[in-house]
Amino acid sequence: MPLFRSVQEKRLWIAAAACLLLIWASIYPARAIVDFLRGRNLLRATVAIVFLAAGCGLAAFLLRARPRWREIAALVFGGLAYAVVLAIMNQPEERLHFLEYGALAGFTEAALRARRAALGGPLGVLPSLLAILITAALGWLDEIIQYFVPVRVYDWRDVGFNAAAGALLVGLAALRRRARARDHRGASRRAVLVGAFAAAAAAAVHGAAPQPPPAVLPPPTNVLLITLDAQRADHLGCYGYPRPTSPRIDELARSGAVFRDAVGHANWTGPGVVTLLTGLTPAVHGMDTRHKQMDRDFPTPLKELARRGWQVGGFQGRVEPYLNLGLGDRDRMGIPIADQLRELAEGKFVLWHHLRHVHLPYNPPPELREQFRRPDSPALSSEHLALITGQVMIPAGTTVWDPKTRPALEDLYDACVRQNDDEVGATVDALKALGLWERTIVVLTADHGEELIEHGQVGHASTNQAGTLYEEILRIPLLVRVPGIAGGRVVEGLAQPIDVMPTVFGALGIETDFPFQGRSLMPEVYGAIARVERPVAFAEATTCGWQCGSNRAKTLRLRAARGERWKLVERRGPAGERTETLFDLAADPGETRDVLAAQPREATALRAALAERQRQDEALARRLIFQVLDDRRAEVRALPAPARSERAAEICDELAMLRYVFEVQNPSPLDGATGESFRRATRGIVDLLGGAGDRYWACRGLR
């Protein structure tokens, strides 16, 4: 028996097979193609052109049958139903996928009809139903394949969209056949029914998209914030890395939302983490260099959560930069996270868990080192191996790194990533064992990335004392998992850790007037919005991080304004002198060419964005500083005279630290007239202390 009953059937099956091959062949490279087009602002235009061409071709195909007005009305209805589905699918790249499955269904149904006609059987609706079922089954297989591809994500809802695409195309094909037969009443009825079915199916699938948890489910009450020190996004499987560095983190990613283009705020831990925990920029919270300490009255979201009844804590070996953030008893910050979870399991909590295995030195357990050692990796010299595996600091200029040995360096780094991953997995297992998984929001991100010889250095500002704001430092992971919301979502656009605390408040259902500078990402986590609409992300830091040795070094600053394509990096010297560099991230992802002179318009736009960011930061910092002074003044006035005398030294030390925090910046919100207003306010508080204020040097320094 011949495989094909006619030449026409053979051609139609070949066309259907070509559609399927195109769909499956594009699974892996589609992400890179989409990123390429988006980086050049061509994605939406490309989709529009493809759909315009397809629409014109389909219209010509149908109009050749010379339809009557009722058939044309049915055609318009089908087109509107198709437009409804496209509007629901708010990701441009997925719309192309929708078109591919419509074509697949159309060719499949035509091939089935050709075969059935050749066999002499009645045609009826069986070929149409079979074509829709085959399209849905192949779409399901497509999604299963995507589950195992690192750069793609399984989403069962796409199966329904694929079936809806098939139904619409099959219905329009039926319209054409009936029009040619001049059975216009049957054509109209069938096209309307098929169009209604497809639109209803797509709407039903859209209705199944992640929405706020229904009232019958208990709302999440707990929050676990996991930060990975020095973790690059591009060395995790959920961000497309091919090595098995992060199976447990990838599992977490599949249960939540992955923000593909998350940008860090700094090149070392302190400002990066404090920005995450406060929702304020480094210029506003002031915790951007060593030896600074936040004022106990400085407002933070963790303090607000504590007032609302949450137990707040964390696990971090070095606590000094994070005092007065609202993390609770500093003596408890050394208690392992699993023990804290057991202690807090009966209440509601917010915990911060910081993992440092990826921070220099890269010294993973022997079994992981062996697992990630590639036989063909060029060996590091004995000197470099000793530095990498034994030293926290490798100052720039003390050695010269050979770029050819980067694979061996990556082997060690990847082994440390896997060590972090194992600990993340153990923490998730602890949540599940304690019955906390379905009540706990989990956010995983990083404080900053890490240089691996891309620009000649290893580490970051605190380890090489020559910090930068290159992409290997700024690109970090950001995963958000909220119980009751379907996972597997990949969100485009520029997200930042400053968005985490607003997102936590949104997930917990808390309304607040805290002056967050980020925004809640809950619409993206739910799936109501496909991408983060942030035109520019900002970063700022010193070049020496935790290791800055003088106040002068602390006032040398780097600031960056990063769009999806262009990035401006500004370097300010201690006296305020500036130099700038502009990179085209689409054409030069390695940031090797400065195009400042060639792209003055782009530089001007980003320079203006930096200036506006500075203006907003200084205004908010001043507001919060004087709010602290008002609180301290009221506190001192409420004290009886003996208590004022007893606490004079403490109060003056706190005021001196507040001044230090915001004066050792470049620029400082206490410059000019604001600085004089600050000094008058602090003198007024010292005066309230009476004669006790004159006995302490800190008080005299504030007069």
**What is the SS3 assignment for 455?**
coil
Instruction: Tell me: pLDDT of 233 over 80.
Output: yes
Q: Looking up tokens 């209803």, which residue turns up? A: 200
Residues ≥6 apart with Cβ < 8 Å to 166: 101, 102, 104, 105, 106, 108, 131, 132, 135, 136
- Please give the Cα distance from 94 to 161 (Å, whole number): 10
- Please give the Cα distance from 673 to 702 (Å, whole number): 17
Q: What share of the chain is helix, strand, coil (3-state, %, to 5)?
A: 55, 10, 35
Determine what percent of the chain is predicted with pLDDT higher than 90.
57
Q: Which residue has the higher pLDDT, 123 or 631?
A: 631
The per-residue pLDDT for 159 is 65
Confidence of residue 183 (pLDDT cuts 50, 70, 90): very low
Handedness of CA 246, 248, 249, 252 (dihedral sign): positive
Residue-averaged pLDDT of the chain: 84
Q: Looking up tokens 């994500």, which residue turns up? A: 153
Phi then psi dihedrals of residue 258, to 5 deg: -105, 120
End-to-end CA distance of the chain: 103
- What tens digit of pLDDT does each residue of 371-392 get? 999 999 999 999 999 999 999 9
Confidence of residue 147 (pLDDT cuts 50, 70, 90): low
Give the DSSP per-residue string, 659-685. HHHHHSSSS-TTSHHHHHHHHHHHHHH
- What tens digit of pLDDT does each residue of 285-296 get? 999 998 899 999
Q: Which residue has the higher pLDDT, 13 or 428?
A: 428
Delimit the domains of the chain by residue range: 7-207, 222-364+417-564, 614-702
Strand-pair partners of 584 = 566
Instruction: Tell me: pLDDT of 458 over 70.
Output: yes
Instruction: Tell me: pLDDT of 692 over 90.
Output: no
**Lowest model confidence (mean pLDDT) among 205-219, 229-243, 513-527, 561-575:** 205-219
Query: In 10 A of CB 227, how many CB atoms?
Result: 26
Q: Which residue has the higher pLDDT, 57 or 93?
A: 57
The per-residue pLDDT for 187 is 43
Confidence of residue 211 (pLDDT cuts 50, 70, 90): very low
Strand-pair partners of 352 = 225, 314
- Please give the Cα distance from 278 to 302 (Å, whole number): 7
Give the CA dihedral 387, 542, 515, 627, nearest 10 degrees.
Answer: 120
In a 13 Å sphere around the CA of 64, the CA atoms on its Cβ side amount to 7
The per-residue pLDDT for 207 is 40
Residue 7 burial by CB count (10 A; 0-12/13-18/19+): exposed, middle or buried? exposed
pTM for the whole structure: 0.74
Domain 222-364+417-564 CATH class label: alpha beta
Instruction: Tell me: pLDDT of 682 over 50.
Output: yes
Q: Which residue has the higher pLDDT, 141 or 503?
A: 503
Residues ≥6 apart with Cβ < 8 Å to 507: 220, 223, 441, 482, 522, 525
Instruction: Tell me: pLDDT of 212 over 60.
Output: no
Mean pLDDT of 132-143: 77
Query: In 10 A of CB 215, how many CB atoms?
Result: 7
Handedness of CA 37, 40, 44, 50 (dihedral sign): negative
The per-residue pLDDT for 66 is 61
Q: How many residues does the chain have?
A: 703
**What is the SS3 assignment for 492?**
strand
Query: In 10 A of CB 217, how many CB atoms?
Result: 11
- What tens digit of pLDDT does each residue of 495-522 get? 999 999 999 999 999 999 999 999 999 9
The per-residue pLDDT for 74 is 59
